[in-house]
Structure 1
Amino acid sequence: MKKVFILFIVLSCVSLSAQETKKNLITKRVSNPPKIDGILDDIAWENCDIAKNFVMFRPSSGTPENENQKTEVKVVYDDEAIYFGAYLYDDKPNEIPKQFANRDNFGAVDWFGIMLNPNNDSQNDTEFFIQASGNQADAKSNAFNEDFSWSAVWDSEVKIVENGWIIEVKIPYSSLRFSNQEVQTWGLNFHRRFSKSRDQYTWNFIDRTKGVIQQYAGTLSGIKSIEPSTRLSFSPYASSAFNSYDGEEDFDNSIGLDVKYGINESFTLDATLIPDFGQTAFDDLVLNLGPFEQQYQEQRPFFTEGTELFSKGNMFYSRRIGNTPINYFDEENLEENEEVIDNPYKVNMLNAVKVSGRTKGGLGIGVFNAITEKTEAKIKNPTTDETRRVVTEPLANYSVVILDQQFNKNSSVSFINTNVLRDGSARDANATGLLYTLVNKKNTHYIDGSVKTSSIREDGEKLNGYYFDTSIGKFAGKVQYEAGYRMVDENFDINDLGYQNRNDYQNVYGNFSFRIFEPTKTFNRYRISTWGNLNYRKSDGAYMDNHVGINFNATTVKQLSFGTNINGKIGKTNDYYEPRVEDRFYKDKPRLHFNGWISTDFSKKFSFETYVFYGIRIGENREYYEFEFSPRYRFSDKFNVSYGLNMGVGKNSKGWVNELEDGTIIFGNRDSKNITNSISGRYNFSVKSGLALTFRHYWSPVEYDSQYFTLNNNGSLSLNNSYTDSHDINFNSWNLDLSYSWQFAPGSQLVALYRNAIFNEDENSYLSFNHNLTNLFEQPKQHNLSLKLIYYLDYNKIKTWL
């Protein structure tokens, strides 16, 4: 008993010491850098300081690493790069999970992470991950975001040995941003994760109960007399594509160039000249019957890489650039005998530039600018053979400016401005935001919020709008909470360069949660949370609705994750958005939703996720069911396949269908279904080359009753016996991508892609699933075959060659 007590005291002291001190690792300069081959036999690694004594990050906190799975890391540097050598001990090396994946993705694999903070500001990390398979991932991270779209060019090698695995890494200074000081101290931490147990260890202790990960970095000292290298790289590309659609065929060849230039040690310029987005992934299109625009994820690489600064405040939605023309030509505007012969659905982007970075003093600066070309629709009169052009989008300039000042290692104040200028008298837009996040020194409580304004100039008039939001809360410890207030006036509009689905509202909101940070006999983690809000119109204070809910989610010690949620709206609601006419509303019934999900252990060869949902309107025979099942199977470390099935059925849903010329608003009663089948698979020949398949078919038939309704001024519905139009919909979206990618050199890639797409929307909502497929395959099919080559050129290498 005495020995057990002494052991407990020792372990407690180790844990306490880890929590109270920041570790320091001393690096050294070498004249002969190590060869990156996964073998630590270079002279450079001799007599180095060693980072060791890792402690658990999750599921427990501060528990010392096992002796048979300990980790030891060394760091050296020269004038060109910084080098890491890590020995990751494991007494069962043959059982180390090492599923192959493409870059920036993690499968069932053990991994090691290097978290660098050259400014040592405790807020902004540059992360490099090396997986046991040899695959790489990298990201920029802060308290609110981990951006894996950012990519750098660096070198690593992995070797599996008899007592574990070894990693060697070379990170050129061209991939980092740091000051030009004679003596430097960088923030540093290492992470090691075991895929089977999901245990994760760190070199410097991280207290998960408060603060953010970046604040718990150790330090790397001993760096002297290094200079930021010239950060200039070119990525020229060439692409060729064959397109076939509805009997028409064409070839398209293009060349272009992406440029990255380090203006100084803090800031980088990115430019894309003659951009080519021909191999951009498909959007997951869905049928949208609601009053709000559907928001889709950005897929174009230039807009997804290194944009962590621009995401602040949710004021920049890059899909606006090159989207549908603002005055897309409506065929209802055709004159007699005219027909549309060309009506571009997308606007071409001519070029785009962004500058971003952060100073040693914590000031982040981001500047973005893009230009889109003038777009026209062509209208022809076959009788007179005359052709006229209608400008649907004039030449336009899109710009974003952001200033983000961080301080006290946990707080920030940000200024954001977005601006759209269109040629001539067309619509111009400007939006400005001031954001703040203020956290106390103990990292337990915070105040955050924002003030935003918008200004629209159109048809000689100017319209200004306002937004305000603030909240106070506690985000440390087992019990956490937040309470806040938000107000958006009726004129606030950021949709020219941002995304906003509604305005003219104010609400009071709050949430409360309880969670554990140490495992129990049953759970590695669990969390219970409840939340609610109360909503009113801003313009006149009219009551809209309320929303309350309670949620539970957990992961067991056997890695089974699950959760459930119950939420609803109490009492009748006044929906001011569904009628799509200002000051009109629809009085709806109370609603109640139930849902639950299960996710099994993804480290197993077979795993799955499943989700169920049931929603009802109280007092009506109106309900919605949804079921989702997504199994996946790993045939080998190189080959895996996953399938997804989602089915939803809605009964007796009421919604807007039309507005008549006299202002009458027509509602309909509809039954709907949506079925999504998706398949994705990948075979990796190596971590640098592989075949990938993605397929998705979305089908949504909607059938309306023959009886329609008129929306009354008091929000009720009354039968309309004179309206007989048909609004049935049969909506299909079919997409298939088969691609081969090969990273033949660092930063350089060859991608071959075959694409097949079919889209159809008609009124045949009565069709069965099989008959719908037959009908779909009778529609015109789009076939695309493309080849794209990107070659990465580093100025420093070019200079060496010359």
Structure 2
Amino acid sequence: MKKYLIVYFFCIFSFVTAQQTKKSVNASRAEKAPIIDGVLNDDVWKNADIAKDFVMFKPGDGTKERNNKKTEVKITYDDEAIYFGATLYDDTPEQIPMQFTSRDDIGNVDWFLISLNPFNDSQNDFEFLVMSTNSQADAKVFANGNEDFSWNAVWDSEVTMNEDSWVIEVKIPYSQLRFSNLPIQTWGINFHRRINYLNEQYSWNYIDKSKGEISIYAGLITGIQNIKPPLRLNLYPYTSGTVSSYDSDTRFDANFGLDIKYGLSESYTLDVTLIPDFGQTAFDETVLNLGPFEQQYSEKRAFFTEGTELFGKGDLFYSRRIGNAPVGYYDVEDNLAENETIVDNPTNVNMINAVKLSGRDKSGLGVGFFNAITEKTSAKIQDTITGTIRKEVTEPLTNYNVFVIDKQFNKNSSVSLINTNVLRNGSFRDSNTTALLFDISNKANSYNVSGNIKMSNVYEASANTAGFAGTMRLAKISGNYQYYFRYSRSDDNFDIQDFGFQRRNNYSNFYSGVSYQIFEPTKVFERYRIRFNTSLRYLSEPNSYTGNDVELNAFFLTINRLAYGANIEANIGDQYDYFEPRVEGRYFRQKGVIESGAWISTDFRKKLAVEANINYAKRYTLDNYYAGIEIEPRYRFTDKFQVIYAFQFSKLINEQGYVDELDDESIIFGTRDVKNIVNTLSGKLSFNTKSSLSLSFRHYWSPVQYENQYFVLNDDGTLSNASYNENNDINYNIWNLDFSYTWQFAPGSFLTALYRNSIFNEDDLSYIDFGENLNNLFNEPINNIISLKVIYFLDYNKMKTWL
């Protein structure tokens, strides 16, 4: 018996040790580079070392790969690039899904992913993904495991399908990577294979999903010797032409510009955009905002999304501030004389140029510097008697910059220093913010402490206003049971609005939460997670209670790829809103809310898939409630054509909210019903992996109706009847339609043709029905835009060869 026990425990120990050992594969030097054709018949592949014996990443945990689905990868390199040849065995190739998609859009396909870390620091991976259709995706991976697919490299791949396998051949030029200038190199590497129809994903080196990030479980590439980082100089010249028409006014604009990407060293890269053109940027999903806080929009301009992970630390960098509305936009009307009218008041400021420097060296030191300059912007004001026109500056010449130093250590921790600065010419408002951040985990990746200290300074009207904010978080981050405690505080002077996004300041909040999740599948579930969160909120100055929140939510994913979840959330007792009145020191007192919701998402591998959610909320003791539903069906007609439609409907009944502030400083509230109806439609027809037609449509309609009785806000936060009686009904419409054709005619080079029309209307016809509203909307002038843009990629190393 003892003998069998010894053997048993020896096997268990061997299994665990094997799972924790880093695998390694040797890369051979190629005397002659392989031809990237998806056929591994080049001489260099014949005796190359093989990375094999993949294990399951999900849904299982370390299970050996299937005998009929084995994966083998070979690696070679030369002075220009590193090459990968992968054979993905599959005895049922007819079951491999083949949906055609654009770059970085992973559809219903099998795929193979190379996760490459030339510094072998376990925190900063480059990912290169090849789909069964040979579509490509690439991303940079942050230290927290998040992937940035806005990063785009220029690399080559080819796929061939065989009777018992599919084969991938990949070439990644060194000009697209960052690595040290050492004679002998050891790179971090892991490979992933997704078998979609089996719902299985395998990795070469074992990954423990219960703790740490995926990047710390990489294996090794050895044998790379005597390669030198090339001069990384890429040029992206572009030209564009735009014809726009609005209300019988037609305009033609032509633009020429250049983006430059230059490697200052093997670690750091300088990006420059000269005469930027953002005319084809996707439209914003604008909504009617009745609340006290600004609406936040996602960044869609490529220059501001790619390679900005360092600048996003501390949440001080909101790039939409650059080119946003002038700081003095709303002051123009207040400064008008009786006989003056506004002829032109630009809603956006043009950017002159921008540069960013970013990178991380082999010691884990990351440095980022961003600088942008926007032009002087003025409103035109006409004297209605004399006809003369004067200009009023609404935004002077302005400089925005960010500086970041980020030190990573222990493969799972970092300390960062960030400074942002906005400097406007003349007597306009300036600002500066500095933050110190820390994110530290123990070596076992089981516990984490993180936080920040932030200081803001605003210079306006010859005075400086300083503000403070900070956060501390303690958490258990491994195992089935995880929990956290967090405290956040901000004084009432903390202000980062010139370059950051900030909904509010003056808070002193406590948060806590506990969760349970599984990392190995059961008979029914691939994974599930249940969380319970609480919060207790106060003002910082004075120390006044504002509210609380308790929440329970759950997420489930079945083995058959059906995902669903639910949540319930509630406030206990009265809540005190110090922001809805829009006047410092005043608050609105109201009963708490209980809210519940549920959602479901079906298997996206099927031709027809549906996502849907429903929400309901009710305020205690009042006839004030919210109900909303959203349904999004999608249908894949063929592997090259898919359509997605989404419908959203919500209704907020008897909401009490801010309306106006009168000259006598009375704050007026009203009771209103708010509806939101949103229809969106998107579709894509892919001719191949390089060209496609895309449609994106959205109509947002929000009618708001007020009751005849209005209220005045009392000093104790309650409401009393008011004699105020004005029409504040709103009928708000946004219509956007984009139809575009994109063709990647050469590596990194694109031609994009775009047609766009948009309509906006806001009036007080909130009582009309949907059909009447559309007729009313189409009576407004339509903004039509036709745009053609060509971007060409030039690599200095290739240009040198041509010359």
Q: TM-score, normalised by structure 1?
A: 0.98
Q: Secondary structure at the match of 2:161?
A: strand
Residue 615 of structure 1 and its aligned partner are, at CA, apart by 0.3
Residue in 2 aligned with 1:201? Answer: 202
Distance in 2 of aligned mates of 1:332 and 1:465: 29
Residue in 2 aligned with 1:519? Answer: 521
- 1:422 and 2:424 correspond: yes
Distance in 2 of aligned mates of 1:338 and 1:426: 24
Q: Secondary structure at the match of 1:19?
A: helix
Q: Secondary structure at the match of 1:635?
A: strand
Does the CA contact (< 8 Å) of 2:486 and 2:511 recur in 1? yes
Distance in 2 of aligned mates of 1:632 and 1:13: 48
Q: Secondary structure at the match of 2:781?
A: coil
Residue in 2 aligned with 1:323? Answer: 324
Distance in 2 of aligned mates of 1:442 and 1:684: 46
Residue 311 of structure 1 and its aligned partner are, at CA, apart by 1.1
Matches within 5 A, 1:258-337: 258-329=259-330, 330-337=332-339
Matches within 5 A, 1:91-240: 91-144=91-144, 145-240=146-241
Distance in 2 of aligned mates of 1:399 and 1:29: 44
Distance 1:781 1:10, change over 3 A: farther
Amino acid at match of 1:433: A
Distance in 1 of aligned mates of 2:583 and 2:777: 35
Does the CA contact (< 8 Å) of 1:734 and 1:757 recur in 2? yes
Distance 1:581 1:6, change over 3 A: same
Alignment partner for residue 501 of structure 1, among 493, 498, 503? 503
Distance 1:705 1:332, change over 3 A: farther
Q: Secondary structure at the match of 2:197?
A: coil
- 1:510 and 2:512 correspond: yes
Does the CA contact (< 8 Å) of 1:18 and 1:62 recur in 2? no
Residue in 1 aligned with 2:768? Answer: 767
Q: Secondary structure at the match of 1:776?
A: helix
Does the CA contact (< 8 Å) of 1:709 and 1:718 recur in 2? yes
Distance in 2 of aligned mates of 1:667 and 1:12: 69
Residue in 1 aligned with 2:680? Answer: 678
**Structure 1, 379-388 or 441-450: larger mean CA deviation:** 379-388
Residue 6 of structure 1 and its aligned partner are, at CA, apart by 13
Distance in 2 of aligned mates of 1:635 and 1:549: 40
Residue 536 of structure 1 and its aligned partner are, at CA, apart by 0.5
Distance in 1 of aligned mates of 2:148 and 2:664: 51
Residue in 1 aligned with 2:471? Answer: 469
Amino acid at match of 2:698: R
Residue in 1 aligned with 2:704? Answer: 702
Residue in 1 aligned with 2:800? Answer: 799
Distance in 1 of aligned mates of 2:735 and 2:241: 24
Amino acid at match of 1:185: T
Does the CA contact (< 8 Å) of 1:15 and 1:62 recur in 2? no
Residue in 2 aligned with 1:364? Answer: 366
Does the CA contact (< 8 Å) of 2:95 and 2:197 recur in 1? no
Residue in 2 aligned with 1:478? Answer: 480
Distance in 1 of aligned mates of 2:18 and 2:499: 47
Residue in 2 aligned with 1:350? Answer: 352
Matches within 5 A, 1:28-107: 28-107=28-107
Distance in 1 of aligned mates of 2:609 and 2:60: 25
Amino acid at match of 2:757: N
Distance in 1 of aligned mates of 2:622 and 2:207: 52
Distance in 1 of aligned mates of 2:161 and 2:462: 70
Q: Secondary structure at the match of 1:196?
A: helix
Distance in 1 of aligned mates of 2:135 and 2:789: 22
Residue 382 of structure 1 and its aligned partner are, at CA, apart by 2.9
Distance in 1 of aligned mates of 2:561 and 2:122: 32
Distance 1:644 1:254, change over 3 A: same
Distance in 2 of aligned mates of 1:244 and 1:305: 32
Q: Secondary structure at the match of 1:124?
A: coil
Q: Secondary structure at the match of 1:686?
A: coil
Does the CA contact (< 8 Å) of 2:565 and 2:600 recur in 1? yes
Distance in 1 of aligned mates of 2:46 and 2:193: 23
Amino acid at match of 1:82: I
Residue in 2 aligned with 1:406? Answer: 408
Summarize deviations over 1:726-755 as a string: whole Å, max 9, x none: 111001000000000000000000000000
Q: Which runs of 5+ in 1 are unaligned?
A: none
- 1:653 and 2:655 correspond: yes
Amino acid at match of 1:71: T
Q: Secondary structure at the match of 2:227?
A: coil
Does the CA contact (< 8 Å) of 1:271 and 1:354 recur in 2? yes
Summarize deviations over 1:469-492 as a string: whole Å, max 9, x none: 001110100000000111010000
Amino acid at match of 2:263: G
Does the CA contact (< 8 Å) of 2:181 and 2:228 recur in 1? yes
Summarize deviations over 1:612-654 as a string: whole Å, max 9, x none: 0000000000000000000000011100001000000110000
Residue in 2 aligned with 1:733? Answer: 734
Residue 331 of structure 1 and its aligned partner are, at CA, apart by 2.8
Summarize deviations over 1:30-49 as a string: whole Å, max 9, x none: 11011000001110101111
Alignment partner for residue 447 of structure 1, among 443, 446, 449? 449
Distance in 1 of aligned mates of 2:32 and 2:323: 50
Residue 5 of structure 1 and its aligned partner are, at CA, apart by 12
Residue 13 of structure 1 and its aligned partner are, at CA, apart by 6.6
Distance in 1 of aligned mates of 2:53 and 2:142: 25
Distance in 2 of aligned mates of 1:98 and 1:10: 44
Distance in 2 of aligned mates of 1:167 and 1:12: 35
Residue 301 of structure 1 and its aligned partner are, at CA, apart by 0.8
Residue 9 of structure 1 and its aligned partner are, at CA, apart by 8.8
Alignment partner for residue 717 of structure 1, among 712, 716, 719? 719
Distance in 1 of aligned mates of 2:15 and 2:342: 73
Q: Which runs of 5+ in 2 are unaligned?
A: none
Does the CA contact (< 8 Å) of 1:143 and 1:213 recur in 2? no
Distance in 1 of aligned mates of 2:456 and 2:572: 33
Distance in 2 of aligned mates of 1:315 and 1:55: 41
- 1:600 and 2:602 correspond: yes
Residue 16 of structure 1 and its aligned partner are, at CA, apart by 2.3
The structure 1 segments of at least 4 consecutive aligned residues displaced by more than 6 Å after TM superposition are: 4-11
Q: Secondary structure at the match of 1:177?
A: coil
Amino acid at match of 2:33: P
Q: Secondary structure at the match of 2:638?
A: coil
Summarize deviations over 1:141-200 as a string: whole Å, max 9, x none: 023221110101000011111112100000000000000001010000001112223311
Q: Quote the sequence identity (%).
A: 55
Distance in 1 of aligned mates of 2:656 and 2:787: 45
Distance in 2 of aligned mates of 1:196 and 1:699: 40
Distance in 1 of aligned mates of 2:611 and 2:197: 18
Residue 333 of structure 1 and its aligned partner are, at CA, apart by 3.4
Summarize deviations over 1:378-412 as a string: whole Å, max 9, x none: 00113201111100000000000000000011110
Residue in 2 aligned with 1:384? Answer: 386
Amino acid at match of 1:650: L
Distance in 1 of aligned mates of 2:51 and 2:14: 16
Amino acid at match of 2:243: F
Amino acid at match of 1:774: N
Does the CA contact (< 8 Å) of 1:142 and 1:214 recur in 2? no
Q: TM-score, normalised by structure 2?
A: 0.98
- 1:640 and 2:652 correspond: no
Amino acid at match of 1:790: I
Distance in 2 of aligned mates of 1:193 and 1:493: 46
Distance in 2 of aligned mates of 1:398 and 1:488: 24
Distance in 2 of aligned mates of 1:8 and 1:140: 42
Summarize deviations over 1:449-486 as a string: whole Å, max 9, x none: 00000000000010000011001110100000000111
Residue 310 of structure 1 and its aligned partner are, at CA, apart by 1.1
Distance in 1 of aligned mates of 2:197 and 2:106: 13
Q: Secondary structure at the match of 1:352?
A: strand
